Chain A
Amino acid sequence: MNVFTKEVTAVFKRLWAIFARDMKVGTRDFITLLVLLFPLVFAFGINLITPGINDTTVNVAMVAGEDPERAAYFDRFAHLTLLADRQAVADRVMQRDSLLGVVRDGSGLLVLAQGNEPEESVELVKLIAVLYDAGAPTGSDQTELESFGRTIPPLKQIMVNALLLFISVLAGMLIALNIIEEKTDKTISAIHVTPVSRLVFILGKSLTGAVFAVLMSLIGLMVTGFGQVNLLQMLPVILAITLLSIMIGFIQGINGDDVMEAAGSVKLMFLPLAGSIVGYELLAEKWHPFLYWSPFYWAYRANEMILSQDGNWAQLLLFVGVIALLCAIVFAILAPRIQKGLQAQ
């Protein structure tokens, strides 16, 4: 084997040793396990919540057994809750949300409202009640519905996009926790007196974060039903934003002395993340330049393109390029501190 091959093999062997050790310790530590599993839980949570969010037309409560056929008709158009009696319906109407009650009043019907429901909801409930009396039509020749065949609602896409960015930040936290462990045990010096170079050490530590980010992102996409997106396009975005998180993770780990400080610092990182998402979704386009400094903004845009399967490589590479440039600027500022922090303790 020539010298170069031997050296490369040695480097990979050491990278693997560091990564395997980090994973072994990580799975023995509740905090790390939590960080590792949280995205999965979040992904399942998204699956649980989003159908409900989508299922909102109008909410109605009726008395169970009072008028089963009318109730079944209402259920075709409204989110129906059946309660024990009229008082239970009235109590339920009095709660904060916009839910209307439909109860028998003598021979007729009465709509119960709290008083603050939107007028459209009230009109809709009245319409359904009247339609039932007029023969309970379930469709009309006058209506034609055409569909583009998209099965994923926009809110779900926003949540999945946020999850992907969230995963990248958690990758940084994993690294921070890891570095703090090394600092507590004072083991960085021990590593420095082996053939492992500083660069290999940093790469080895980063590997945990990068592998976690890529793996959890893929699993998250599969679990939430986005498995069919262009993963080849997704990969550079995940890696680019993970790079940023890794750098921040190193800084938090090196400068923090305990887990609490690392958690606090990572909490801070969620601010530009959340701000970028909220800004992108809520602000008019003319205000977007105020978000251009945030790598999360560009990653969110790139992810949105890919999740909607509207991704074109030119634009994607532009976004990834901007993220890389912003990361390079952050790196230029942070590199001396990382270097200093990794010196002998």
Chain B
Amino acid sequence: MKLLSSFVKELTLATRSFYFYIEILFAVVLLAVVLFAIPEQIRVVQTQVLYLDLPQPAADSLTADLLAEDLDGRWEETVLESGDDRFDARLFETETARVYLVNSAEAVRDLADTKRDIGMVLSLDAAGQLHYTYYLQGYESQRLQNLLSVIPAASLAGMAEKIAGMTVEQLAPDQVLLNDRENVIPTLIAFNSSFMGMFIMAAYIFLDKKEGVINAYAVTASSVARYMLSKILVVLLTATVSGLIVTVPVFGFQINYGLVLLLLLVSGFFASVLGLLIASFYADITKAFGTVFVVLILLMLPVIAYYSPGWNPWWIRIIPSDLVIWSFREILVENGKTGVVLLVSAGLLAAGCALFVLADHRYRRTLSVS
């Protein structure tokens, strides 16, 4: 009962703090960004400006090829502006490109210059061979330039058959991965919900230290441990709410929310206790900030590894946040490894409890009158 009343009091205090609402608002904003700015499939759509300086039959044939790749099977008549000039164009939208077919090489050059898109003029040289003129900006990589240089070789006799004849082995064609939008959720909830608790807890503690509340607790029948626990519960509540705000609209009810809550709570608990422990070593937030910041950066390194598949050194894999991110991912994918999630949760709970005992010991030892 004392814990419950402590928790209710801490929650009341927290709801009077501006920062409490910022966390919730930020989760809503993150959700909006995820839903509206991150597509389900991130495809790099390149814009190209093209002129076919070819005999009509050849130009028609190539235009038909473009039309066949167009997503809705028809082009769109449009006008492109470049300074004071206006150029008529036909827009073809394929899966990976937006191609504007214009009526002159000057238009290609002009538009490539002002719109900063790749420009290409297909013409015939003196020998009647296809000639490709590319207008590049200058920052394209050497690899891309090399590639553009050899692409004409693909239209040499026999090349198409050789290319078609190469074997491609699909290693996991039926695997259902998270789409690009869903894929950002593990890192988002790991940080905005779970690990931010470290920072928030440290902040709450310093606020109370400034007011001498901890000393006041120490001379009552209610223990310092109970006080810390009630604060942790408040942080966990915010973490849970902000985590669910981001997860539910993206995944609906198709995932195991029991596991989501479990992982949110234990990782939040671990992070909060870490924040508590760090705060016990310092008198105020400005002195502690350095340590909190360094720890936060360390915890964020696994995010880089998560988005850089080729980079995953062993020391990243032992950072707790890496375990949390990949565990969240296991919950969100179809047929994810539940055992891994439970093991990681147990580990975080045990580590959190050990740190809690340490933090309690430190707070009782370091009470002072100043």
Contact surface of A with B, Cβ cutoff 8 Å: 29-31, 34, 54-57, 76-79, 81, 90, 92-97, 99, 105, 108-116, 118, 120, 122-124, 126-127, 129-131, 133-134, 137-140, 142-154, 256, 258-261, 264-265, 267-268, 271, 274, 278, 282
Contact = CB atoms under 8 A, between A and B. Distances in A.
23 contacts: A31-B289, A34-B293, A54-B141, A76-B143, A110-B169, A112-B169, A113-B169, A114-B171, A114-B172, A127-B163, A131-B153, A134-B153, A134-B156, A144-B134, A147-B137, A150-B137, A151-B138, A152-B139, A154-B116, A258-B203, A261-B19, A268-B22, A278-B37
Q: Which 6 A-B pairs have the closest CB atoms?
A: A115-B173, A95-B309, A150-B138, A30-B290, A260-B203, A142-B152
A126 B163 contact: yes
A30 B201 CA distance: 19
A130 B162 CA distance: 7
B310 A143 contact: no
Contacts of B210: 258
Interface residues of B, number: 70
Contact of A54 (B29, B140, B152): B140
Given A30-B286, A93-B171, A138-B146, A148 B136 contact: yes
A267 B33 CA distance: 15
B285 interface: yes
State the main secondary structure of chain A at its contact with B: mixed
Interface string B10-38: 00000001110010011001000100010
B112 interface: yes
A152 B140 CA distance: 9
Contacts of B216: none
A30 B251 CA distance: 40
Contacts of A105: 167
Contacts of B137: 147-148, 150, 153
Contacts of A126: 163, 166, 168
Given A129-B166, A140-B149, A96 B183 contact: yes
A110 B167 contact: yes
Interface string B116-146: 1000000001000111111111111101111
B246 to A, nearest CB: 16
Contacts of B219: none
Nearest to A142: B152
A139 B139 contact: no
Contacts of B29: 271
B150 A140 contact: yes
A284 B172 CA distance: 38
Interface string B162-186: 1100111111111101000001000
A99 B140 CA distance: 20
B207 interface: yes
A130 B154 CA distance: 9
Given A140-B149, A151-B139, A145 B130 contact: no
B141 A55 contact: yes
A77 B143 contact: yes
B96 interface: yes
A138 B166 contact: no
Contacts of A115: 170-175
Given A31-B286, A267-B22, A282-B37, A148 B138 contact: yes
Interface in B58-98: 95-96
A130 B134 contact: no
Given A142-B131, A143-B150, A144-B132, 6 more contacts: A56-B141, A57-B143, A97-B310, A112-B169, A152-B139, A258-B207
Contacts of A81: 310
B143 A55 contact: yes
Given A76-B146, A258-B207, A267-B26, A145 B136 contact: yes
Nearest to B19: A264
Contact of A143 (B17, B33, B132, B162): B132
Nearest to B162: A130
Contacts of B298: none
B149 A94 contact: no
A143 B22 contact: no
Nearest to B161: A130
B113 interface: yes
A144 B29 CA distance: 47
A278 B38 CA distance: 11
Contacts of A79: 143
Given A260-B19, A264-B19, A282-B37, A143 B151 contact: yes
Given A138-B146, A144-B133, A145-B145, A94 B140 contact: no
A258 B150 CA distance: 62
B139 A153 contact: yes
B314 to A, nearest CB: 15
A55 B166 CA distance: 26
B321 to A, nearest CB: 18
Contact of A139 (B149, B162, B170): B149
B96 A118 contact: yes
Contacts of A96: 177, 183, 309
A111 B163 CA distance: 11
A138 B175 CA distance: 37
B221 interface: no
Given A146-B135, A261-B19, A122 B168 contact: yes
B19 A137 contact: no
Contacts of A94: 171-172
Contacts of B310: 81, 92, 95, 97, 99
Given A54-B141, A138-B149, A147 B136 contact: yes
B134 A137 contact: no
A55 B142 CA distance: 8
